[in-house]
Amino acid sequence: MEPLRMANAIIQKIDRKEALIGIIGMGYVGLPLVLRFCEEDFRVLGFDVDPKKVATLKRGKSYLKSIPSSRVSQFVQSGHFDVTDNFSRLDKPDCILICVPTPLTEKMEPDLQYIEKTTEAILQNLRKGQLIVLESTTYPGTTEELILPRLESSGLKVGKDFFLAFSPEREDPGNKRFTTHQIPKVVAGVTPSCHRVVIALYSQIIRKVVPVSSPRVAELTKLLENIYRSVNIALVNELKMLTDRMGIDIWEVVEAASTKPFGFSPFYPGPGMGGHCIPIDPYYLSWKAREYDFTTRFIFLAGEINVHIPYYVVAKIQDALNARGKSLRRARILILGVAYKKDVDDARESPALPIMNLLQKKGATILYHDPYIPFLPSFRKYSFKLNSSPLTEQLLRRIDAAVVVTDHSIDYQRIVRLAPLIVDTRNVTKNMKQWKKKIVKA
Residue 260's Cβ-count burial label (10 Å; 0-12, 13-18, 19+) is: exposed
Torsion of CA 40, 45, 49, 52, to 10 degrees: 80
| Sign of the dihedral defined by the CA atoms of residues 395, 397, 398, 403, in that order | positive
Question: CA 119 from chain center: how many Å?
Answer: 22
From 38, 95, 194, 277, the catalytic residue: 277
Rounded CA separation 70/420 (Å): 42
How many residues in the chain? 442
User: Which of 70, 76, 77, 92 has the alpha carbon at shortest distance from 23?
Assistant: 92
The backbone torsions φ and ψ at residue 230, rounded to the nearest 5 degrees and listed phi first, read -60, -45
- Region of 392 (left: φ > 0; alpha: ψ -120 to 50; beta: rest) is beta
Residue 330's Cβ-count burial label (10 Å; 0-12, 13-18, 19+) is: exposed
277 is catalytic: yes
β-pair type (185-189, 163-166): antiparallel
**Helical segments of 98-249, H only:** 113-125, 142, 148-152, 192-202, 215-246
Rounded CA separation 225/206 (Å): 19
Q: What is the CA radius of gyration of the chain?
A: 24
Catalytic sites, residue numbers:
277
